[in-house]
A and B are shown apart, each in its own frame.
Chain A
Amino acid sequence: MKKPLQLFWSFFKIGAFTLGGGYAMLSMVEKAVVDQKKWIPSDEFWDMIAIVQSLPGVFAVNTALYVGHRVAGKKGAFAAMLGAIIPSITIILLLATVFREYRDQPVVERIFKGIRPCVVALILAPSLRMIKSAKVTWKTAIIPVAAVFLIWWCKVSPAYVILAAIAGSLAYALYISNKTKGKEAEK
Chain B
Amino acid sequence: MIYLQLLWVFVKIGVLGFGGGYAMLSLIQHEVVDHYAWMSTTDFADMVAISQMTPGPISINLATYVGYTTAGFGGSLLASFALCLPSIIMVYFIIKLFMNKRNSSLLDDTLKGLKPAIAGLIFAAGLSMMNMQNFVDFGRGQYNISVIICVLAFVASYFFKANPILLIVLSGVVGFFAY
Binding site for B on A (CB under 8 A): 15-22, 25, 47-48, 50-52, 54-62, 65-66, 69, 77, 81, 84-85, 87-89, 91-93, 95-97, 99-100, 103, 107, 109-131, 133-134, 136, 140-141, 143-148, 151-152, 155, 157-159, 161-166, 168-170, 172-174, 176-177
Contacts and interface: CB of A to CB of B under 8 A. Distances in A.
A33 B80 CA distance: 25
A62 B24 CA distance: 15
Contacts of B59: 58
Nearest 8 interchain pairs by C-beta: A114-B175, A169-B113, A147-B120, A88-B56, A144-B120, A173-B109, A165-B117, A118-B171
Give chain B's interface secondary structure class: helix
Given A65-B91, A91-B56, A126-B122, 7 more contacts: A58-B14, A88-B56, A99-B46, A111-B175, A116-B133, A125-B154, A148-B120
A148 B18 contact: no
A136 B146 contact: no
B37 interface: no
B5 interface: no
Interface of B: 12, 14-22, 24-27, 30, 34-35, 42, 45-46, 48-52, 54-61, 64-65, 68-69, 73, 76-77, 80, 83-84, 86-88, 90-92, 94-95, 98, 102, 105-130, 133-136, 145-147, 149-154, 157-158, 163-165, 167-168, 170-176, 178-179
A126 to B, nearest CB: 5
